[in-house]
Amino acid sequence: MIIAARPRFRWAPYRALAARAMAREATYRFDVFTSIGSVLVRLYLLKMVWTALYAHNTTPAELPLHAVITYSAVALLMGLVMDIDQTRALHDRLHDGTIVTDFLKPINVALSFFADGTGEVIFHAILIVPSLVLALLVVHIDVPPPMTLAAFAVSFVLGYLVGFWINFILNCTAFWTLEISAVQLIVTWLTDLLGGEIIPLVLFPVVLQKIVFVLPFAAMFSTPLLIYVGIISPSGWAAAIGVQAVWAAVLAFAASLMWRAGTRRIVSQGG
């Protein structure tokens, strides 16, 4: 008996999916305008808020005014990429039922969502450049030494993966329940706050710091940003990045379990 050979894995369909996602994002010019505009307006607001707070109170020694403004500016630019829900398509296709046809295609479905999300992210990553140029007109952003920038880049990628898996898990819940839009928005606001995107976690009250630093959200924004502004010193880089890697691995494992359970469910329901 001859067992049919497994088709050889090909990259081309996924490259094509990513390219299509980029083209799709580029057609929404209004969204491009608002995301850059939003960064600038919020940058101005954050500059004014931190300036007012630092003017009349004792300055935290570890985070002077220029460092906290740099932190906020880099956080906003990171947000252009981090705040994207890359696997939104999974939720949408579960909602309208078209996911069934995806499983008939000769592709790996999970990977096709990943490719689509990657295309979207690459397009938004490109937007960081004009945003950064315009941001420099509003505020001064400190630039750390090259080694720190490299550690920041590694940490940013890991933070991105942590965010990616959290979104993926949320979208996977659509296998079981369809009304998750409001829940997702709630989670987004909480991660913005608990991840250190809005306020550096080191400025939280000490009791709260003990909680927020052990949550996975801190691995998204806080770790790369604290490396950037130098609060995590070079000797602490390995440990901090290690914790992020563990979170990324744990969440990836949880996501794969959910994906498997979810896809089985579709089969058992008969589509």
Report the site for another protein in 121-140 (rule: CB under 8 A): none
Is 179 near another protein (CB under 8 A)? yes
Of residues 144-173, those binding another protein (CB under 8 A): none
Q: In sequence order, what are the residues at sequence separation of 6 or more whose Cβ sits closer than 8 angstroms to the Cβ of residue 43?
A: 72, 73, 76, 135, 138, 139
34 or 108: whose CB is closer to another protein? 34
Q: Considering only residues 28, 33, 103, 176, which one is a binding residue for another protein as defined by CB under 8 A?
A: 33
Residue 164 and residue 171: Cα distance in Å, rounded? Answer: 11
Q: Does 57 bind another protein (CB under 8 A)?
A: yes
The interface mask with another protein, positions 13-32, x = CB under 8 A, is -----------------x--
Three state DSSP letters for 38-101: HHHHHHHHHHHHHHHHHHHCCCCCCCCHHHHHHHHHHHHHHHHHHCCCCCHHHHHHHHHCCHHH
Shortest gap between Cβ of 258 and another protein (angstroms)?
A: 21
Distances (CA, A) of 17 to 10, 20, 24, 128: 13, 5, 10, 22
Q: What angle do CA 222, 122, 47 make, to 5 degrees?
A: 40
Q: Which two tokens stand for residue 62?
A: 């570890």
Question: Contacts with another protein: how many residues (CB under 8 A)?
Answer: 34
Binding another protein by CB under 8 A: which of 199, 231, 254, 266? Answer: 199
Nearer to another protein, 103 or 189 (CB): 189
The helix or strand, by DSSP H or E, that contains position 108, with its residue range, turns out to be none
With binding defined as CB under 8 A, does residue 208 bind another protein?
A: yes
Q: Which of 235, 233, 195, 245 is nearest to 217 (CA)?
A: 195
Pick between residue 67 and residue 241 the one whose CB is nearest to another protein.
Answer: 67
Q: Give the residue with the Cβ less far from another protein, 65 or 254.
A: 65
Residue 198 contacts another protein per CB under 8 A: yes
Rounded CA separation 82/147 (Å): 23
Of 11, 27, 56, 235, the one binding another protein by CB under 8 A: 56
Q: Quick one: which of 53, 125, 129, 150 contacts another protein (CB under 8 A)? A: 53
Give the torsion through C-alpha atoms of 119, 124, 130, 132, to 10 deg.
-130
Q: Which listed range, 49-57, 118-126, 140-148, 164-172, lies at the site for another protein (CB under 8 A)?
A: 49-57
The span from the CA of 190 to the CA of 193, in Å, is 5
Q: Is 193 in the site for another protein (CB under 8 A)?
A: yes
Site of interaction with another protein (CB under 8 A): 30, 33-34, 37-38, 41-42, 44-45, 48-49, 51-57, 60, 179, 182-183, 185-186, 189-190, 192-193, 198-199, 203-205, 208
